[in-house]
Amino acid sequence: MRSRKNARKTGAEKAAQLLMVMGEQGAASVLKLLRNDEVQKIGAEMTYMGEMSTDEVNLVLSSFLEQCSTDDSISIEAGRYTKDVLIQALGAEAAERVLEKITLGGNTRGLDSLKWMEPQLIAGIIENEHPQIQAIVISYLGAELSGEVLTYLPENSVVEICIRMAEMEPIDPAALEELNSSLEKQVEGVVSKQSSEMGGAKNVANIFNTLEKNFEESIISKILENNIETAMRIQEEMFVFDDLKKIPDKDFQLVLREVATDILVLALKGADKGLEEKVLRNMSTRAAEIFSEDMESLGPVKVTEVETAQKEILVATKQLADSDKIVLSVDSGAMIG
């Protein structure tokens, strides 16, 4: 177990302490609302956290723990607890992936540790690198974090990076190790020697699906100006909110179980009527009646709120596809998953 009693605690460590005393269900509910990189950082702190004294807990919980005795301590089997919480929050398969990253996180250097950093910091690290290096690094981060990093880079650079990613061939492991070495002075991480499948139109499409709509449309339009063929391949791989209509009803019901009703109501504001009908068709009669009433009573909302809700549903849908629980398809026949 590691301890930082004498060090200034990070936000992730404070959050981990809070979750450790909330109980598994409460902690899982909170983790569901966080980004994957945030879950990894907090999960790492929870995994390696030692016992917390009442005084330490009070620094985080303040008035919530006033009833605790000063001499008491909260002792939890952190590793088992963290795994149980992550399984409840993310599902067994996704939890295993996060735990795998957490296990590696304490001893990593270079490229891999970028996944543990804030997107703005990653952008600062690579902003002066060659565009091909930037493309490789961003391809390595995963769709959600990659999308956040791109928002901190100049738009013209983003266009070139996306084109390079879409056209990228598999990377030689030796080249990745060389890149890892060049980054080692700035970051911590280790590159798996078997890593080679990076980039490609699907990778870029997955990143675009995480971006704010106006930014995504601006980038794709500029890629069209530079390279029509590449832009078309990216667009063919993209899965957008309206594509939810194409999911078979049986799979769509799994999606509905993953989404809170208030988020679904907000996401459907101004959406295609066909999608609203699909939602109602896949609910029980009583649930459909309540949902329709909620839709009718919803007043004016900001476009950004609707887009955020839609993105949350797309993320949940993509997670189901990644775990092979559903299969997504677009008109072109390209499979997203």
Domain boundary among 237, 263, 295: 237
Share of the chain above pLDDT 70, in %: 69
Within-domain flag for 3? no
- 147 and 167 housed in the same domain: yes
- Side-chain-side CA neighbours of 153 within 13 Å: the count stands at 26
Q: Which two tokens stand for residue 12?
A: 């992730």
- 249 and 222 housed in the same domain: no
Domain boundary among 106, 121, 140: 106
* pLDDT range class, residue 253, cuts 50, 70, 90: very high
Q: Which domain holds residue 256?
A: 241-336
- pLDDT of 310: 87
The count of domains in the chain is 3
Q: Is 255 left (phi over 0), alpha (psi -120 to 50) or beta?
A: alpha
Q: What integer is the mean pLDDT of 287-299? A: 90
User: What residues contact 10, with CB distance under 8 A and at least 6 apart?
Assistant: 45
Q: Which stretch of 129-133, 148-152, 174-178, 302-306 has the lowest confidence by average pLDDT?
A: 174-178
Q: pLDDT averaged over the chain? A: 74
**pLDDT tens, residue by residue, 46-88:** 776 766 666 665 555 543 444 333 434 444 455 566 666 667 7
* pLDDT range class, residue 17, cuts 50, 70, 90: confident
Domain boundary among 106, 137, 153: 106
